[in-house]
Amino acid sequence: MLRAMLNESLVVVRATDNAEYRGTVREAEFPLMVLVLDAPSDLKAGEEVACEVLMKGNLVEVEATVVFAEGLYCGLCLKAEHFASGEERAPRAVAPGTTITVESQGESAVGSVCDVSESGLRIRILGSYGQGQVLHLHINSDIGPITFTGIVARVIRELENDASDIGIKIDDMGKLERARYQHFVESLIHRTKKAS
């Protein structure tokens, strides 16, 4: 499975400050992986990072330690237990064209859903959000509205045009919404697997 990551795009997120770095996998032989980053980084040997790689419609998450970082090149040592269970532990599916309404502190904004899993989702949205912030969320799915409460688990540094990628953990969801959400996630996973 590690060789399947060759030439795939990935996102590296540093554990200490959630700084995000994008790049491509150039070498992969367990437990080591060499990346070519899109821009020089300030990563340092010994830092803990999380990696997200989109493979066959599933977003696989693995944890690693930086071995070296020089210019555009970065070497990572993957943690075996996380790599072995990554896809099974966190099956995700991309959600193209899906919008989400976010309400917090009396303000409302519309964002795009990047990917979903049974326990949470990642969205891209304009505005400033903080880790631990409670959000009221609304998705219009093909089988009805899904309204629930989520907690910001991670805010990836602001991107160009003031948009941020936000990782959200589902906090409170009614039984009907839970059933609709699970159907929504399963249909997206099925669709992306079928397409690949």
pLDDT tens by residue, 139-151:
988 888 999 999 9
pLDDT of 195: 56
Under 8 Å CB-to-CB from 158, ≥6 apart: which residues? 164
pLDDT of 29: 80
Whether omega for the bond prior to residue 31 falls within 30 degrees of 0, making it cis, is yes
CA dist 157 and 141 (Å) reads 28
Residues 44 and 69 sit within 8 Å (Cβ to Cβ)? yes
Asked if residue 89 has pLDDT above 60, the reply is: no
What mean pLDDT, rounded, does the chain reach?
A: 83
Tokens matching residue 141:
């799915």
Asked if residue 90 has pLDDT above 60, the reply is: no
pLDDT average, residue stretch 65-74: 92
Q: Which of the given ranges, 8-22, 54-68, 85-99, 135-149, has the highest pLDDT on average? A: 135-149
pLDDT average, residue stretch 175-184: 92
